[in-house]
Amino acid sequence: MRTLRDIPALREALDAVRRRDQRIALVPTMGNLHDGHLALVESARRHADVVVTTIFVNPMQFGAGEDLAAYPRTLEMDQAQLEAAGCDLLFAPDTAALYPRGLASQTQVRVPGVSEGLCGGSRPGHFDGVATVVSILFNLVQPHLACFGEKDYQQLAVIRKLVADLHFPIEVVGVPIVRAEDGLALSSRNGYLSAAERQAAPMLYRTLCRARDALEAGEAPEPVLAEAGEALRAAGFAPDYLELRATDLGPVTAATRDAVLLAAARLGPARLIDNLTLTLPS
């Protein structure tokens, strides 16, 4: 696997790939890789000849007071994992390479609708940063497909709309959530948890499972969500949101069958997110 730090080197490497008529898959990440990221790489390998992973801790998607400075940067370990997973090219630019004229004057991409509410509500501007950096990476790599995790359910919806609205000729592949044995969705931010917090953390998944079962059994959403919020608070979480939406993130109506439960909650220093899809009874 080659690691490339600047745009000219990336373009040159990809020109050679395109001359060979090979299919390119892109896996955008912020690094500090775990098995969730590696599942994206595996999926990318199944769909393409050449896998390009990017590692970039994108300052534009962090709000004031968020964990940009503390975000774990573990390039050497990431390189070893990617090499073992069969990644072909790692693009790991610094901020000046992607935003050479500075962040303040950077052209931005905003995806209306799906970016609003949920994480977009608690993290204003977050999805503008995501949509902007992903657009830049799409333009630089020009992949045939790109893999994103379903753990970031709203992000995946934002990317799908971005691709449709800007006519990127890119297939978006969603990859199921990879969890620890106790159910906690793997996340780089789990590393912020103390031993006691890590023990409490799977309550987020368990609470979502209980709420899903109740909703699938026909219980009314409002009390189910209220009870789930209480359970989270009792376990030491400070919920940001806990919502039931249609799978396209629209509101649930009497006709909705395919739905998704989405949650974000703070536990100590970490903000954890998770979601579960479910089928509402008719």
The answer to whether the beta carbons of residues 216 and 280 sit under 8 Å apart is yes
Cβ proximity to ligand AMP: between 44 and 228 the closer is 44
Closest residue to ligand AMP, Cβ-based? Answer: 149
Cβ proximity to ligand AMP: between 40 and 260 the closer is 40
The amino acid at residue 32 is N
Beta strand 24-29 with 2-4 is unpaired
Q: What is the 3-state secondary structure (H, E, C) of 36-69?
A: HHHHHHHHHHHHCCEEEEEECCCHHHCCCCCCCC
Around Cβ 241, how many Cβ atoms within 10 Å? 16
Shortest separation between residue 180's beta carbon and ligand AMP, angstroms: 9
Shortest separation between residue 152's beta carbon and ligand AMP, angstroms: 4
Residue 169 neighbours by CB under 8 Å, 6+ apart: 144
Cβ proximity to ligand AMP: between 179 and 227 the closer is 179
Cβ proximity to ligand AMP: between 67 and 219 the closer is 67
Secondary structure percentages of the chain, helix, strand, coil, to 5: 40, 20, 40
Please count the CA atoms within 13 angstroms of the CA of 218 that sit on its side-chain side. 2
Shortest separation between residue 148's beta carbon and ligand AMP, angstroms: 4
Which positions lie near ligand AMP, rule CB under 6 A? Answer: 29-30, 36-37, 39-40, 148-149, 151-152, 175, 177-178, 185-188
Shortest separation between residue 17's beta carbon and ligand AMP, angstroms: 22
Shortest separation between residue 254's beta carbon and ligand AMP, angstroms: 31
- Known catalytic residues are 37
Cβ proximity to ligand AMP: between 17 and 184 the closer is 184
The sign one gets for the Cα dihedral 17, 1, 55, 161 is positive
